[in-house]
Amino acid sequence: MPLEFQLGSNISDQLKRLAHQRPTKTAIIHGAARINYAQLYERVIEKAKALIDLGIQEGDIVGVALEDSIDHLVMLFAVARAGAIILPMDHRWSITEKEALFQHFKPKCVLVNEQDDWSPHNAWLVKSLTAEVDVSPLSEYEFPLGRHGLTLSLSSGTTGRPKGPLVSHQQFISRFLTHWIDLGFGSRETYINATPLYFGGGRAFSLSILFVGGTLVLFPPPYTPHELASEIERTKSTLLFLVPTLLRRILSKIHEEKSNDTDLKYFQKLNTLISSGSALTSEERQAISQNICAHFIEYYSSTEGGGVSVLTPKDQMHFPDSVGRPIFGVDVQIVSEEHQPLSANTVGRIRYKGMAVSSGFYNDPESSLESFHEGWFYPGDLGLLNEEGYLFLKGRFKDMIIRGGINIYPLEIENTLMNNHCVSEAAVISTPSKEFGEEIVAFVSLKAPISSSDLIDFCKTHLAPYKVPKLIQFMDQLPKNSGGKVVKSQLSKMLNN
């Protein structure tokens, strides 16, 4: 790697360097509040010392269930500086969801907001964590290295048994490297984080821009497209990451207003707009490039393994249905269920490996066997690679529908439905069928009126007969997790009830 970090080094070491190199440069902006790198490092050192004084030892797990704030970012670095492992927890979860994670990972303590209604016996309020001794921002206090890992990088959903791979400091630094090489992150950029810090993408990109010495703007939801655009202009932000759900809202607002004269034009001032979390249709990508930001990048990644591929604006012109080529330092293969590599243009299971990929799920050997094999991580997606190395997603492996012995990929049907101008979002699942084994059901939210029979006729025009949904269910809004992905298990429950 071009950056020399010794094995077991700690990501917080870089803050010390930045406090020397650029002490007065703005590190974080949140509303009217600003702190520079010298102040950020001082706060991190103070909180890390407080954690150690209160009994946190190297390798302990520390839950972070905080609102999006400067304090949240300080505590992420402070936990790392203390040699402990970050357990991300969404402060908006129900008590039941928090307890499930707490019982599975058994953190030594949980950092909570003052107004939080969940208070396990070892919950600590962040504001009460103050060091008893005066710690200089450039203190030589001997903190632990990062030998036990940085974070349990949980996926965005909370349904089922909690799963989290333990990602090391070095693996996270490798993820940062791909951000700088493939996504445009750099010390001269100002990244506006408009997704929750709990969410894997928002957290990783925020740590990445601070690690490289750029400026981070916190602008957590909820907000309107106009408010986000105004904040971009106010802070002169150059980088933005949004999940597809938020991008669709901006497109809808632009279409509704039919004018480039509003503050929505400020999106066009961005150097780079990044989308990740779930795939967009080719039509949506084109609309985003034309109406929101010309330099729009789609980034296919997972919280467990980091980035997989990137689709650049130039790539979008040639392969609009692709998710791009593999990112720096990553090997991608399409394999059979027996783990054998498949030829080009053949659909199979996606697997990838690289410097940023975790080696398994923490304290969960059963799930590790399912998703990790001989150094490869299987994100659970189906896809194919063409002769030029471009990757095409075909849906989730577990979502694949087998109707009358034929493999059907829900993503193809979802994209077809979303190409209808009346459809806002679509999700396709299966239901048992005596005749065919499985039958196709589509859940749809609309932006303009249309009947289910007309939508089925639309599908008949664009899909083979065996791919046409038997039933279409309309919903005001599809159920989503904190990462903006549709939770299909909830749709299945609704259908079965």
Domain at 241, CATH number: 3.40.50.12780
**165 or 31: which leads in pLDDT:** 31
Q: What is the predicted pLDDT for the residue at 158?
A: 42
Domain end residue (candidates: 378, 396, 414): 396
Examine residue 233 and state whether it is found in any structural domain, yes or no.
yes
Mark whether 376 and 414 lie in a shared domain: no
Q: Over the stretch 354-394, which tens digit does the pLDDT of each residue have?
A: 999 998 888 888 888 889 999 999 998 999 999 999 999 98
Examine residue 332 and state whether it is found in any structural domain, yes or no.
yes
Average pLDDT of the residues in 476-486: 82
Mark whether 326 and 406 lie in a shared domain: no
Mark whether 175 and 287 lie in a shared domain: no
pTM assigned to the model: 0.85
Domain end residue (candidates: 396, 412, 444): 396
Mark whether 338 and 312 lie in a shared domain: yes
Q: Does the pLDDT at position 156 exceed 90?
A: no
Q: Are strands 85-88 and 26-30 parallel, antiparallel or unpaired?
A: unpaired
Mark whether 155 and 274 lie in a shared domain: no
Examine residue 174 and state whether it is found in any structural domain, yes or no.
yes
Examine residue 188 and state whether it is found in any structural domain, yes or no.
yes
Structural domain of residue 45, as residue ranges?
A: 13-200
Examine residue 411 and state whether it is found in any structural domain, yes or no.
yes
- The residue to which tokens 């150690």 are assigned: 52
Mark whether 337 and 482 lie in a shared domain: no
Q: What is the predicted pLDDT for the residue at 359?
A: 84
Q: Could you tell me which of 38, 5, 39 has the C-alpha nearest to residue 145?
A: 5
Q: Does the pLDDT at position 1 exceed 60?
A: no
Mark whether 325 and 462 lie in a shared domain: no
% of the chain at pLDDT higher than 70: 93
By the 10 Å C-beta count (0-12 exposed, 13-18 middle, 19+ buried), 253 is classed as middle
Examine residue 209 and state whether it is found in any structural domain, yes or no.
no
Average pLDDT of the residues in 23-35: 98
Compute φ and ψ for 432, nearest 5 degrees: -60, 145
Q: What is the predicted pLDDT for the residue at 130?
A: 58
Mark whether 229 and 320 lie in a shared domain: yes
Distance, in Å, from the CA atom of 83 to the CA atom of 34, rounded to the nearest integer, reads 27
What is the total residue count of the chain? 497
Mark whether 46 and 125 lie in a shared domain: yes
Examine residue 2 and state whether it is found in any structural domain, yes or no.
no
Distance, in Å, from the CA atom of 497 to the CA atom of 493, rounded to the nearest integer, reads 6
Mark whether 27 and 148 lie in a shared domain: yes
Mark whether 384 and 432 lie in a shared domain: no
Q: Over the stretch 295-325, which tens digit does the pLDDT of each residue have?
A: 999 999 988 889 999 999 999 989 989 999 9
Examine residue 192 and state whether it is found in any structural domain, yes or no.
yes
The enclosing domain of 196 has a CATH number of: 3.40.50.980
Domain end residue (candidates: 348, 378, 396): 396
Q: Does the pLDDT at position 140 exceed 60?
A: no
Q: What is the predicted pLDDT for the residue at 247?
A: 93
Q: What is the predicted pLDDT for the residue at 141?
A: 59
Q: Please state the domain count of the chain.
A: 3
Instruction: Confirm if 254 and 224 have CB atoms less than 8 A apart.
Output: no
The enclosing domain of 412 has a CATH number of: 3.30.300.30
Mark whether 188 and 235 lie in a shared domain: no
